Structure 1
Amino acid sequence: MTSRDLGSISEEDRSGRLGGIALSKEERDALRGIALASIRSGLAHHRPQEPAMSEVSSRLREPGATFVTLNLRGQLRGCVGSLEARRPLAEDVAKNAYSAAFGDPRFPPLSWEELADLEVHISLLSPLEPLLVRNRRALLELLRPDVDGLVMEDPPHRATFLPQVWGSLPEPENFLGELFLKAGLGRDHWSETVSFSRYSVYEF
């Protein structure tokens, strides 16, 4: 699996750098191992594997926000993540990998038979950037296809699309409409209380 440019990261940057945060190849490999160990623990013991924090680098002990996406034979098999950095990066990956495999309500729990063909993708999120817009048109003009992940909030509704979703929804109008639908709202929804934030990701 190779790194892909899904935010402000150039394809040539192999250090896993996002917003001043850098992950070495060894750290990225360690996070993949943590994700797989947590999934295997879920299959064997029905709980996530707690990473050995004393054995990971200091960077992986710092707070971080991640999404873990599981693909099986080219199809989505689960995706769960954190929008804000509230726990150590290694722990966040372990918990999100377990939840993606066994807690995504769109899919049944992962089975042992699926493990061999499972692909694990980890997305490291930048801090959220609020978008101050007064109307739908202004928001659409700000969106950067293939770069922005988008969070929509209109309490009690909340939803997000990772930047990877632009691959299947390349038009900003459709991207936004599907995000509203994901949140349980109408495609053309707008209100005085709706708010948006964007972020970029580094996926590996």
Structure 2
Amino acid sequence: MEKELNAKEKEILLAMARKAIETYVRTGETYVEPREEKILNRRNGCFVTIKQKGKLRGCIGNFQSELPLFKEVVEIAISSATRDPRFYPIKEEDLDDFSLEISVLSPLKKIEDLTEIEVGKHGIYLEKGYYRGVLLPQVATEHGWDRDTFLMQTCIKAGLPPEAAEAEDTEIYIFSAQVFGEDQPAS
């Protein structure tokens, strides 16, 4: 991202994501309120992470978007709540107990040297044949991983052996993210 979101813009996106999830779960309708802020109308990839009782409950995202950021956040929030295949769709009784985190992404950058990966700064997107895996930058710091563990875990997430990052036909991309959530102080 060339310009960071300010505290007010983060609050707007978090509120829009929450309202979109609540509206969709209750009515099946998608709620999107138009926004005038220039930064919220940029086309950025993003991920929306949902947690319940401190545990992952849904996480879906896109690296690129044809939609303005505010619309992308709404669409991805609904998908995270209802279409993450690892979890059952959020139901009305779940709406009282979840928190949101949004990661607004920089463009992907292909790397050749694994030492370019900075734990805590970069996320990893990895491709090998039909296999793909992604882990957001905050995942490594949340788990206390070093670079090698972060790479191995990204391979495992992709359904590959842990050492697949070393293979010549594995393509590795890094990205950064502006990460903010309801459980974090706005800054």
Shorter-chain TM range is 0.7 to 0.9
Percentage identity across aligned positions?
29
Distance in 1 (CA, whole Å) between partners of 2:41 and 2:106 is: 17
Q: Give secondary structure in 1 for the equivalent of 2:60.
A: strand
Instruction: Look up the match of 1:26.
Output: 8
Shift of 1:27: 1.6
TM-superposed CA distance for 1:159, in Å, is: 1.1
- Tell whether 2:100 aligns with 1:120: yes
1:43 equivalent in alignment to 2:25:
yes
TM-score (structure 2 length as normaliser): 0.88
Q: 1:159 — aligned with what?
A: 133
Residue 170 of structure 1 pairs with residue 162 of structure 2:
no
How many residues of Structure 1 are paired with residues of Structure 2 in the alignment? 178
CA RMSD of aligned residues (A): 1.6
Q: How far apart, in 2, do the equivalents of 1:24 and 1:192 lie? A: 41
User: TM-score, normalized by length of structure 1?
Assistant: 0.81
Gaps of 5+ in 1: 1-18, 134-138
Q: Give the secondary-structure state (helix, strand or coil) at the position aligned to 2:58.
A: strand
Q: Structure 1's 84 and 169: CA in aligned 2 closer, same or farther, altered over 3 A? A: farther
Which residues in structure 2 correspond to 1:56-67 (within 5 Å)?
Answer: 56-67=36-47
Q: Distance in 2 between matches of 1:44 and 1:56?
A: 27
Q: 1:191 aligns with which of 137, 150, 167?
A: 167
Please give the alpha-carbon distance, in whole angstroms, between the structure 2 residues aligned to 1:114 and 1:66: 23
Gaps of 5+ in 2: 181-187
CA–CA separation in structure 1 for the residues paired with 2:118 and 2:8: 31
The answer to whether the Cα contact below 8 Å between 1:126 and 1:199 also exists between their aligned partners in 2 is: yes
